[in-house]
Amino acid sequence: MRFQPLSLYPGHILERISSSDWLVAGAVSVLFVFLRWATWSIGLPPLEWVFIGAIIAAYFAVKCFSKPQIVLGLIITGSLLGNLILFYEEGLVPFSLFQIFYILGVGLFFLRWAYLGFVSIRKTGFELELALFFSLVFLSILWTPDAERAFIHAIRVLVLSGLLFLFVNWIDKPRHITWLFISMVAAGSLLGIIALYETINNPMAILQDFLTDGHRLASRARIGQEDPNFFASLFFLPLAFTVSVSLSNISLRTRIISGLLFIILFSAVLVTFSRSAWVAVIIMLIVLGVLYRQYKLFLYSALAAVIVILVIPELRFLFVNIINRFIGLFSGGVDTSNYLRLVLLDASFRIFFDSWLVGVGWRGFPDALLTYYSLQDTMGVYEPHNVIYMVYTELGLVGLLLFVFVVLKIFRLAWANTRYNAGIEIKILSHALFGAFLAYAVFYQFLGSGFVDNQLWITTGLIISLNFYLKNQSIHHKNKV
């Protein structure tokens, strides 16, 4: 098999745009100028924007129909931007970019399926496991304390699982995944720059954090998200990709650009003060460093970071706050965050042993928690802070076995992707996906909302898609030989 070399140069990117696209862009520009002149000379309102907008929308729709990977890029970008952009905010239900693009993607999926004559849909390989798991989830709604909340949450998870089918059926080659990663890095870098600017440009918040030893954390970055922990987790995929590119044996200029973007993304994770994300990212970086055997690069990067921190006063205050926050994990003291996690863990064991086979029902943990602890004891926190004990308390031993089997199967696919000797591009993509999924697995040992994490479903979809391609190419190669 021969793969085109990975290239992120702007010149190479422009060369890949087809000549027909340039002709359409030129025609639209000429039409815009003509309509602008015509409406100005007649004295009409600037209606040219309506015509141009309609033309662009029609052209974009045709492009998406022929190249649905564009829609995947929009879905990923919308997921990263999160709730930064909301539509119809005055209504009861605001819509995010991710929701809008995902709905469009589902509609396009069925339109293409009908247009192609209802051909066979590629399978993810997880149909049986997902069917069993969701059967148990919906069955448990019969005995869960809040059936309405459980049903809505289960439907949300079921809808998100459809991302796996979109990725598997629309990704035909590794280059598609590379472009999706590039879109993630671009959107993630934009968010990172905003987060860094708002943090460093808020000296009063940094000073408040410093005077309180980082306990107030007034400067935590959370752009477009209610929880800074979730904001930090948005960067796992783009971080893993930039690290893999930087450690790979490709052109020096590409590695330098990737390294600079990594610094922006990594700094954005730091200013969230999310210890859960820090631990996940550190483990991911260690694993990727071992896989690439690039130990000196990490050392040189750390030395450069120390020099920059010593030179810039604002960064010194910020760095002290980060150190104080991190030491709190291992100092032996029990702060509010650690105390609540211990309380929730203790409650999970009690709930499990009271209903160990099938659990208390999907999303029944908050109500079951009040049997053992009051909201005063938990300081108003009632949601599980670990995805594993969320599963075994709400779905029992049966649900736990299904969940562990699915997670281990995804890990096996992600690891199998890294074993294929199919060129630098495959190596970068497979290592990035393995590292990102590992980061999410660690991260959700501190939080329990992994089932509704768009980025986690996207990561899983990319892993399955890459494995599907590599297995088919391997089988084709063997048959050809």
Q: What is the pTM of this model?
A: 0.82
* Structure token digits, residue 150: 């459980």
Which pLDDT score is estimated for 136? 95
d(CA 93, CA 380): 25
Which pLDDT score is estimated for 465? 95
Which pLDDT score is estimated for 401? 95
Query: Tens of pLDDT along 267-276?
Result: 888 888 787 8
How would you classify residue 383: left for phi > 0, otherwise alpha for psi between -120 and 50, otherwise beta? Answer: beta
Which pLDDT score is estimated for 467? 94
Quick count: other Cβ atoms within 10 Å of Cβ 401? Answer: 13
* Structure token digits, residue 378: 């938990």
Q: Can you list the residues of the chain whose pLDDT is less than 70?
A: 1-25, 28, 31-32, 35-53, 83-94, 202-220, 224, 295-302, 304-306, 308-338, 474-481
Which pLDDT score is estimated for 320? 64
Which pLDDT score is estimated for 408? 96
Which pLDDT score is estimated for 311? 64
Which pLDDT score is estimated for 440? 96
Beta strands in 318-465 (DSSP E): none
Which pLDDT score is estimated for 314? 53
What's 385's DSSP letter?
S
* Structure token digits, residue 423: 């060129």
- Angle at CA of residue 233, ends 442 and 224, nearest 5°: 155
Which pLDDT score is estimated for 414? 96
Question: C-alpha dihedral over 84, 430, 281, 13, to 10 degrees?
Answer: -50
d(CA 70, CA 61): 10
Which pLDDT score is estimated for 249? 86
Q: Which residues pair with 95 in a beta bridge?
A: 87
d(CA 434, CA 410): 9
- Angle at CA of residue 398, ends 396 and 404, nearest 5°: 100
